[in-house]
Amino acid sequence: MKPTKLTNLLLAALLLVGTVAPVLGSQNDAKSNSYLPENVAAGDRAYWLESMLKVAHPVLSNLAEDNLRASIPIGRSASAKANSREFITHMESVGRTIAGIAPWLELGPDDTPEGQLRAKYIEMTCKAIANSVDPNAKDYFNSTATRQILVNSAFLIQGLLRAPTQLWGNLDQVTKERLFEQWKSTRTMKPGHNNWYFFCAMVECGLKEFAGEWEFSLVERAIRYHKEWYVGDGIYGDGEEFHLDYYNSYVIQPMMMQVLRTMDKFGVGDSEFHAEQLRRFRRFATIQERMIAPDGTYPLIGRSITYRLGAFQVLVQCAQEKILPEGLSEGQVRAALTAAMHRVMDAEGTFDEQGWLTIGVCGDQPELGDSYLSTPCVYLTSLVYLPLGLPANDSFWTCPAEKWTGQKAFSGEYFPIDSFLKKTKK
């Protein structure tokens, strides 16, 4: 099944704010010298919803219909020698896709167009999860692929922890038992370094939360390796031990905070270490906002345009959890993130002709890297939508927009538009 037309769903998302007109107008018109629509609060939320559905719908709808393996585009990757191998790689992204949409789903159904849309996606997502662990389904996530199960399970658990009522609470008991069996199967693998221990720790957090058991030694080991590895060299100018890279941003830091919160919930946390990491988390968020240029580019991160959007996960998590650093207002963060989202999602080539998100690199500039048509890039972008877990009347959506800095994080100097993006040759 090809991704279905999103016109009706997206129209419903746009209508929920009362008007369609300002959403896709002047905000993305460079000639207007403004990236914000006239009605910024309504326009931003509607645009975020539209963008989130474009990213998630092909993955979730096909998996819910047991057609993901048959429908997903096959890309070009040296690590994917065969279609079956590549499908396993695609499946790594399913958990992260669900983690990105989970906070919005947890708001639950209601009588508004947005609430009715959520009801449909809650049902669809639960069907998708069930198919992924059903041995009789075509899209069964074969448990012999231990590495991929570990990765996908860790990200899926992040989503289930963020939507315990609407997702975990709506799964049938057979699916829950199959998930437990799958998660426990990852205990047989030998983890690698820091990041792999964290995937193991996230799985243990899920087993503790939902099954009432865990092997706490794996969590302790992940924390210990993190402490040993996470030592910066001070080259970023603040004199602190701070390791600034995209992998920290879209995997390690958000996962670390989730693990520490679970530890605290069950009374086994290191409160001093948690406080230290929270300060670091907020520091990272401040740096990310300051590194967004006024046109929405992010020059620090490497070649892929979707990696750049994925890098904002620490910033959006701080916004969603109301723990933004001092000096960053909600209006400032929303404006910066919306500009970045437009820069990525509106670029030609970000979605293929059938609606699948691609790693598109820099839109229609394939000379800068692969145009790998696959959903693994979804897990880089999906968690930028976390603030949609805040209701439409929340201050994040209703407060006035403010300019973002467009400055280097430490020197405060203005920096030019992203040098990685080449102008199209005429």
Each residue's pLDDT tens digit, 33-79: 232 334 334 589 989 998 888 888 988 999 999 998 888 765 544 43
- Token pair in block for residue 95: 């958990």
Task: Convert the pLDDT of each residue in 351-402 to its tens digit.
Answer: 777 787 765 444 444 433 343 444 445 556 788 899 999 999 999 999 999 9
What does the block give as tokens for 300?
A: 């620090």
Single out the residue of 46, 56, 49, 138 nearest to residue 94, CA to CA.
56
Q: Is 77 helix (H, G, I), strand (E, B) or coil?
A: coil
SS3 of residue 124 by DSSP? helix
pLDDT at 372: 41
CA distances to 87, 89, 306 from 79, rounded to whole Å, are: 12, 9, 19
pTM of the model: 0.82
What domains can be seen in the chain, in order of their start residue?
7-398 (1.50.10)
Euclidean distance between CA atoms 367 and 98, whole angstroms: 32
pLDDT, position 383: 82
Which has the closest alpha carbon to 118: 388, 398, 394? Answer: 388
The average confidence (pLDDT) of the chain is: 74
Structure tokens at 291: 């590194």
How many percent of the chain have pLDDT more than 70?
66
pLDDT at 171 over 70: yes
Q: Could you read off the pLDDT of 222-262 as tens digits, one per residue?
A: 888 877 765 554 333 344 455 555 556 667 778 888 899 89
pLDDT in tens, 271-281: 888 888 888 78
Compare 409 and 218 and report the one with higher pLDDT.
Answer: 218
Rg (CA), the chain: 21
**Higher-confidence residue: 420 or 200?**
200
What is the residue-wise DSSP string for 298-348? -TTS-S-HHHHHHTTHHHHHHHHTT-PPTT--HHHHHHHHHHHHHHHHTST
220-234, 271-285, 304-318, 405-419: least confident range: 405-419
